[in-house]
Structure 1
């Protein structure tokens, strides 16, 4: 079994990854960037939820 590499899934998804040698003083920026990713995902989920729960014209007619 392979040991998962921290950040590999994020990098594969096109997200920025914090490297081990990045200055810790910039950690707040990385935390905020992560929260931006989460907020964008939540917004997309809300859009999809609305699409999936909106009745089609045929459903409204019945």
Structure 2
């Protein structure tokens, strides 16, 4: 880059790479949280459904 020292351009490149890495890490973390939340929801839904089925069977 004209007019920019080699050290400055190296630091800028390093900041860009670190920024992209942090964005990727954040998006992966968000995906993991979403998957865990969905899994917890389905587990809770399944347990409630099973409980209701057992209650219905007890009433028979």
State TM-score, norm by structure 1.
Answer: 0.53
1:35 aligns with 2:17: yes
How many residues are paired up? 42
For the residues of structure 1 that align with 2:41 and 2:28, how far apart are their CA atoms?
23
Query: Equivalents in 2 of 1:58, 1:45: separation in Å?
Result: 21
Moved over 4 A (4+): none
In 2, Cα distance between equivalents of 1:58 and 1:37: 33
TM-score under structure 2 length normalisation: 0.55
For the structure 1 residues 21 and 53, does the alpha-carbon distance in structure 2 shift closer, same or farther, using more than 3 Å as the test? same
More helix by share: 2
Give the aligned partner of residue 49 of structure 1: 31
Aligned-residue RMSD, C-alpha: 1.9
TM-aligned CA distance change 1:36 to 1:22, over 3 Å: same
What residue ranges of structure 2 are gaps of 5+ in the alignment?
Answer: 47-60
Higher Rg: 2
**Partner of 1:51: helix, strand, or coil?**
helix
